[in-house]
Amino acid sequence: MNDLILKNCKFSDNQIKNIIIENGKIKEITKTLNKSDLNADNIIDIKEKYVIPGLIDPHVHFRDPGLTHKEDWASGSMAAIHGGYTTVIDMPNTNPQTDTLKNFKEKKEIALKKSYCDFGLQAGVKSKKDVDEILTENPASFKIFMDLYSDQQLDELFGYIENTGKLLCLHCEDQQLVKYYTKKLKENPENESDTKAYSQARSEIAELISVHKAISYAKKYNLQLHLCHISSNQTLKYVEAYTQNMNISIEATPHHIFLDNSIYDEYGVKAKTNPPLRNKKYALTVDDLCKFDSIGTDHAPHTLEEKTKDTWTSAAGIPGLEVTMKLLLTQLNKGKVTLDEIIRLTSLNPSRIFNIENKGKLQKGYDADICVIDLDKEGTVDVDEFYTRGKYTPFEGLEYVGDSVMTINRGQVVCENDEVIKHDVKYIY
């Protein structure tokens, strides 16, 4: 007997098919159902809404352990499920940092107890000994925040990843330039209330120089790189010259694609992120999405108190999990992006880049991770509907057309009618 059948599913090629699910896996995708199939435990008529693979976000900050007043594994993963995501990969900059075997295992146990979706963990890079020990727990990848280290330290850290066979993810901002321009701009007291000064302090040049150094170190140590949240068209153009001959993937975020730093005039310092939003000259647009390999939300919530200080002391980071599909599907309805392009960026490529088995495709034998979308659903982005603890977004009040309406994780309906349901999750490695 089948566990679940989804009837009348519309695929990206506009064909109507049925998905037969058994033991959390896709058993069959078929145009017709047999009489025996009708004895399934559960049959859901999708009514010709589109189905796509469950979304995979390789870049979230769930703040757990140590910073759970901002977010924890329960609230963050509920936001993920609500937004159509069935798999997330969490960043290592929690408290304590996930850069030792002990800390890695502790975070993994927390997530197994509290998470509402499947997950992986990125590991920090502390020492060669710690890197080798963490490898025994199969991290999704390693992560270095380049703005926190000198060039000499970076050379050493990159060297620790050599011969691990693991992907290295990078936050690319040059420490020296950021320090210099931050100090210089802080000398003008008017900049305390001008968030655009933050974009100048952490400029597109600081990102570009950091990427150049990253590529140089990657050549030296023969590493596979994933460049997180590329924020400027200047960097994008530079990286394109290397992607043919090096193993480099690049990630876009919704805020860097859909916003520029003029939003600071309207939304203020609450829109502050690292790297910052760019001015129109260097800002990315939806037309650049085709040049990226994946979308990571960089979901990074803080409390409103932490977000509403001055330019320099306000926390950097915004929630993204519950707005991303609204933004992308609205662009699909405008003819700016295709459904296949969304699938490539949000599931197919993330599963490939991060070596996630049996996810990222609607295919026989794969995990039954499915996002059902309604291209006709209209609404306005409302933070009161968020599951994340971060009740703010620079997209607040935006009118959208198209949204996820059901999320299925390994054959279990985990979100329907905006209600999120707990189920057993797994570590994906």
The predicted-structure confidence for 63-87, as pLDDT tens digits, reads as follows 999 999 999 999 999 999 999 999 9
Question: Is 422 part of a structural domain of the chain?
Answer: no
Q: Does 92 lie in the same domain as 32?
A: no
My answer on whether 287 and 215 are in the same domain is yes
What integer pLDDT is reported at residue 244 of this predicted model? 85
Residue 409: inside a domain, yes or no? no
Asked, for residue 325, whether it belongs to a domain, the answer is yes
DSSP state of 35: G
Q: Are 134 and 104 in contact (CB under 8 A)?
A: yes
297 in a structural domain: yes
Domain shared by 40 and 64, yes or no? no
Do 35 and 78 fall into the same domain?
A: no
Regarding whether 82 and 21 lie in a shared domain, the answer is: no
Q: What is the pLDDT of residue 2?
A: 66
421 part of a folded domain:
no
User: For the chain, how long is the longest CA-to-CA vector?
Assistant: 76
254 near 329, Cβ under 8 Å? no
Which H or E element spans position 225? strand 225-227
Based on the fold, state whether residues 154 and 260 are members of the same structural domain.
Answer: yes
Distant-in-sequence contacts of 278-284, Cβ < 8 A, 24+ apart: 278/199, 278/204, 278/231, 278/232, 279/196, 279/199, 282/204, 282/232, 282/233, 282/234, 283/232, 283/233, 283/256, 283/259, 284/230, 284/231, 284/232, 284/233, 284/236, 284/252, 284/256, 284/257
Map tokens 């939304």 to a residue. Answer: 267
Same-domain status, 168 and 252: yes
Residues 11 and 114 in one domain: no
Q: In 63-85, which positions are buried (b, 16+ CB within 10 angstroms) versus exposed (e)? A: bbbebbebbbbbbbbbbbbbbbb
Whether residues 291 and 358 fall in one domain? yes
pLDDT of residue 37: 79
Q: Residue 230: how many CA atoms within 13 Å on its side-chain side?
A: 31
Q: For residues 318 and 226, what is the distance between their CA atoms, to the nearest angstrom?
A: 21
Low-confidence ranges of the chain (pLDDT < 50): 1
Is 185 within the bounds of a domain? Answer: yes
Domains identified in the chain, total number: 2
Sign of CA dihedral 289, 371, 395, 208: negative
Q: Which of 48, 49, 16, 56 is nearest to 33 (CA)?
A: 16
How many angstroms separate the CA atoms of 224 and 209, rounded? 19
169 and 104 assigned to the same domain: yes
Residue 427 belongs to some domain of the structure: no
Residues 26 and 101 in one domain: no
Do 386 and 290 lie in one domain? The reply is yes
399: number of Cβ within 10 Å: 10
Domain membership of residue 148 as a residue range: 53-369+376-401
Q: Which residues pair with 213 in a beta bridge?
A: none
Indicate which residues carry an active-site annotation: 298
Q: How far apart are CA 149 and CA 12, in angstroms?
A: 44
Rounded distance between C-alpha atoms, residue 126 and residue 43, angstroms? 50
pLDDT of residue 342: 98
Q: Coil, helix or strand for 406?
A: strand
pLDDT given for residue 3 in this prediction: 87
Q: Would 160 be classed as within a structural domain?
A: yes
Instruction: State how far the Cα of 63 lies from the Cα of 412, in Å rounded to an integer.
Output: 26
Count each helix (H run) and each strand (E run) in the chain, helices first. 14, 17
Q: What is the pLDDT of residue 39?
A: 77
The alpha-carbon radius of gyration of the chain (Å, integer) is 21
